[in-house]
Amino acid sequence: MHYDIIIVGAGPAGLAFARSLRDSTLQVLIIEKQAKAQIEKPEYDGRDLALTHLSRKTMLELGLWQLIPEQSISFVREARVLDGDSSMSLDFDPPENEDLPLGYMISNHRIRQACYEAVKDLQNVTIIYGQSVSDVSASDVNAGVTLEEGDQHTASLMVAADSRFSETRRKMGISADMFDFAHSAIVCRVEHQQEHKNIAWEMFQYGRTLAILPQHDRQSSVVITVPGNQVDEILKLSPQAFADDLADRFEHRLGKMKLVSERHHYPLVAVHAKKFYAQRFCTIGDAAVGMHPVTAHGYNLGLRSQATLAHLVLRAHKQGRDIGSMDILRRYETIHMRATRPLYHGTNAIVRLFTDDRLPARALRKGVLQASRRIPPIKWLIQHKLGEMDEKPSLLKALPTLRKPFS
Ligand SMILES: Cc1cc2nc3c(=O)[nH]c(=O)nc-3n(C[C@H](O)[C@H](O)[C@H](O)COP(=O)(O)OP(=O)(O)OC[C@H]3O[C@@H](n4cnc5c(N)ncnc54)[C@H](O)[C@@H]3O)c2cc1C
């Protein structure tokens, strides 16, 4: 069968891209290796994503935000970053005179479900479930895929949205910078005694990093980053021992804690594709850039990548031009490289520094947090986590307050 566009991967990036093409006459095929049931009703996977205002706007325009139940969306009003044994926190307060939060929190599985709901009935989109792409090819006129059961399809453009370990990217000969942090993120939800007041906490402790992000009522989402060899030991703790240990490490700021979800864990490997395109082929979402979660850019950048590509493709289609031509793909790469490369390298540098517990690094960590008051780019990078990615680093906005916790 011939289509205009083949998307490999029905994750939140691939589905959002298909949704962006909804008003066109472009015929789209999505190929997804998971079974239909898993895509229709994705299960909670422990990931609660922090989303920026720009992402909210994009999701509203695509009609995705409206499909997420209100009680599944929470927000971050303020944020505090703590380092090691220091009592100083780097604070991110809400914008003055604006009734806006710093950012929003939504579970990954809710986003996936909304993306699926928004695409499943589109007339111009076909989805093949339960089959992997086993081979890819490209020529001057077409891109082609062969599925594991042997079926073949062609299109003017193939878009890889098949995760940070994208097989199609590799098969198209595109290499990637990969950084294995040798750490894993353990994620879950807890209930606690005290109100969180919609404050998000990021604690770069020695030995582990702890993020506590506000959910509804007295619940928070937890991200614990630890060296890979400690994961099993932590997961073996009974739910209450785990929650008690967490409350201790969080210095009982929210009182007693109780685990209210399963614990999931993810190995932390950051990936930045060296190129975002090849002949009649390009990458979006994590297949282009897979970020370390500490700065919470992942899906925010994924949404941005699909929006950029959709804009260029739709414009070319309207003008009767070839949607898979090199000049369009090159333009996409230029825009998305510019948006992602500094964030990717900046985030990795922050992670490397703030997970280094050697004495010189400890001193540097303190220095960096203090210097953030005066060096806007550092604050800006950290601030990206908290929902202001669409803001340019402005000197005024970049001056946080350093204060003692509870002062
Ligand atoms: C612990 C953690 C916390 C995070 N926190 C945040 C956050 O706060 N904010 C944020 O913005 N982002 C965050 N992220 C990142 C976010 O989860 C990802 O960026 C996003 O889920 C990636 O979506 P995707 O569609 O690109 O890829 P994926 O979700 O990986 O989807 C890829 C899809 O492709 C399919 N597939 C793979 N290979 C094939 C194949 N060969 N053939 C067919 N189908 C295939 C897969 O089955 C899957 O459905 C976090 C990630 C982690 C791990």
Choice from 108, 186, 295 to test ligand 1 binding pocket (greatest atom count within 8 A of CB) = 108
| Percentage of residues in the chain having pLDDT higher than 70 | 87
**Hey, how many other C-beta atoms are within 10 angstroms of the C-beta on 36?**
15
Q: Is the beta carbon of 59 within 6 A of some atom in ligand 1?
A: no
Q: What is the pTM of this model?
A: 0.91
* Count of residues making up the chain: 407
Under the banding of pLDDT at 50, 70 and 90, the label for residue 358 is: confident
* Pocket of ligand 1 contains residue 370 by CB under 6 Å: no
d(C-alpha 321, C-alpha 237), whole Å: 59
**Ligand 1 in reach of 17 Cβ (< 6 A):** no
Closest CA to 272 of 338, 331, 324, 224: 338
Can you point out the beta strands (E) in 46-175?
48-51, 73-76, 78-83, 89-92, 103-107, 125-128, 133-138, 143-147, 152-160
Q: Residue 355: pLDDT band by 50, 70, 90 thresholds?
A: confident
- The Å distance, Cα 108 to ligand 1 centre, comes to 9
| Cβ of 31 less than 6 Å from ligand 1 | yes
Residue-wise pLDDT for 116-164, tens only, equals 999 999 999 999 999 999 999 999 999 999 999 999 999 999 999 999 9
Amino acid at 399: L
Measured CA distances, 118 to 53, 163, 173 (Å): 20, 20, 32
Distance (angstroms) between ligand 1 centre and the Cα of 163 equals 5
DSSP string, 218-230: TEEEEEEEEEGGG
Encoded tokens for 271:
């990936």
Token pair recorded at residue 105:
């929190």
| Predicted pLDDT of residue 97 | 62
What Å distances lie between residue 373 and 79, 235, 343, 401, CA to CA?
A: 15, 37, 19, 7
Q: Is the pLDDT of residue 98 over 80?
A: no
Q: What residues have CB less than 8 Å from 204, skipping those under 6 apart? A: 81, 82, 83, 84, 354, 355, 365
Task: Report the C-alpha gap between 147 and 298 in whole angstroms.
Answer: 28
Quote the tokens at residue 317: 């289609």
Q: What is the pLDDT of residues 226-242, one digit of tens each?
A: 999 999 999 999 999 99
Q: Is the pLDDT of residue 85 over 80?
A: no
Q: Is the CB of 185 under 6 A from ligand 1?
A: yes
| Whether the predicted pLDDT of 205 surpasses 50 | yes
Contacts for 382 with CB less than 8 Å, ≥ 6 apart: 81, 90, 92, 295, 350, 372
Beta strands at 199-204 and 176-192: parallel, antiparallel or unpaired = unpaired
| Predicted local distance difference test score (pLDDT) of residue 208 | 85
Residue 335 is inside which H or E element, if any? Answer: helix 326-354
Give mean pLDDT, residues 306-335.
Answer: 97
Answer yes or no: is the C-beta of 32 below 6 A from any ligand 1 atom: yes
